[in-house]
Structure 1
Amino acid sequence: MLRISTVWPEAPAAPTSAAGPDGARRAADVVAAAGLDLGAPVPTAGRGWAGLTWLTDAALPAGAGPQLRVRAGEQGIDLAVTTGALAEHGPALVVTDVDSTFITAESIDLLAARAGAGEAVAAVTELAMRGEIDFAESLRRRLLTLAGLPATVLEEVRAEIALMPGADALAAALAARGTPLGLVSGGFVEIVVPLAAELGIDRVRANALEVADGALTGRSSGAVVDAAAKARTLHAWAAELGVDPARVVAAGDGANDLPMLAAAGLGVAFCAKPLVQAQATAAVSFPRLDAVLGLVGLSAR
């Protein structure tokens, strides 16, 4: 089976979108250029986004998928091509990054701001997300700036965290269809675990902060959750569930997410850095995380 899915932002989420109110026509025109007998599309939707999806037995010509994605992007449309069981039955597991994907901020940047090192740490974070510095090294350097902060700042940061628009809708839609959702993060369990618990998400992996005498030591505890660890976590969760990785959908924004995106049946660059957009098999270019559902032919409502 072959599925071609498109999504685009709609007001009020992005009233100036290039897709605009005629997004459906533009999406249909792009897909029609593939020259396949696809039949009528099925609409998908969520708050602030809409989409069209086609399911067919036809085969897409070699190399046509990337070309379709480029043409769609020129029209303000995000497009994904899926095949096999993922195309026919949808995802059996969804895994997302957390910082700047499931939440709007980088948690370490919020912590660093309380240590008076916000700008310097944000600059290192940006280098790491663009793939210009090794993630583990960037984490070590950023954590050092937190040494001596009282552990109570973790509660302050948790209160400041905002979900990415559509994150709660994604979690609810997946729960309704019985599809597990996991969060894997280069951030910190002290922030991610309580957040996940509020949404009923029980699969979480993140770094742990070392605390001594009520203060952060400037080090992490345990193995670092780096790019390779994210991919291993996806495979481990899939194995626990008896799920073929080809039926996993993963989403992330930074270079340290690339191995995880490559390990999934569909890897989605979410509002991502250029390097990630170039290497991922699909993208959502506007800030509605539940639009990831539209790329596999599902709605969020």
Structure 2
Amino acid sequence: MAAKPKELLQELSHRGPHEVLRGNLALAGLPGVVFTPASGLGLPGVAFGHGWVQPPGRYHDLLAHLASWGIVAAAPATQRGPLPSHRLFAADLVTTLDILTGVRLGPGGLSVAPDRLGLAGHSVGGGAAVLAAAGDQRVRAVATIAAAQTIPPATEAARKVTAAGLHLAAAGDLIAPAAGNAEAIAKAWGGPVQLRILDKSTHLAVTEGRHWSQRLLQGKPHRGTQRLVRALFTAFFLTHLTGTKKYEPLLAADVRRAAIDFDPSLEAA
């Protein structure tokens, strides 16, 4: 009997079975951090883009969570100034994927498959992930949280993306409101796509720890939101990068505080 969506959400809310190792992307020429399972060949790999002026350290638990489920997750620490280049940030995400597939990771047998690549991001990092996916046909899945508009527009780039997309928007986000950002990106998406609205969530809810930017930006870390994002991102990437069907019931169902707002495949069914 297949597990129910609530049971799958509960399962993926906890760390996975893999021991997690942390590394430094700077050793490969790009500042940033990478989290990997202790071993594994042909693993899926995801490059994650941080939010405006946010350090990658504010997403370490999310990246480590993905790694615990067998997904290599890396975040470049570039374009962190007040006026970042979204185009260059997107290029850095592509470079991160190149590092994951082309550089030896860890002391033992560990590799990322070039046909199992994904992108993710928060805020401008989410918008940059869309820009990167539009220009890189290797990418099979893109997940964002509170995606922000970019220059050039992520909404226009979304039309060129044929990879699967999962876009999460915070219901209380005053900086990147769902209707003006995530919804527009999702409805312009060129491939299969889903948009979920996270209740009781704000722009910075997914971030971890404290940072001076909380004086300028709306919201603060929220454990409930972090839990949902970790579980949904994990289900999404495992489904689309590894081919497993186990977590499809979760991706096809409304869950508490994360209702599906837009999904053409479900509407057609």
| TM-score relative to the length of structure 1 | 0.28
TM-score (norm 2): 0.30
User: Between Structure 1 and Structure 2, whose CA radius of gyration is higher?
Assistant: 1
Relative contact order: is structure 1 or structure 2 higher (C-alpha 8 Å, sep ≥ 6)?
A: 1
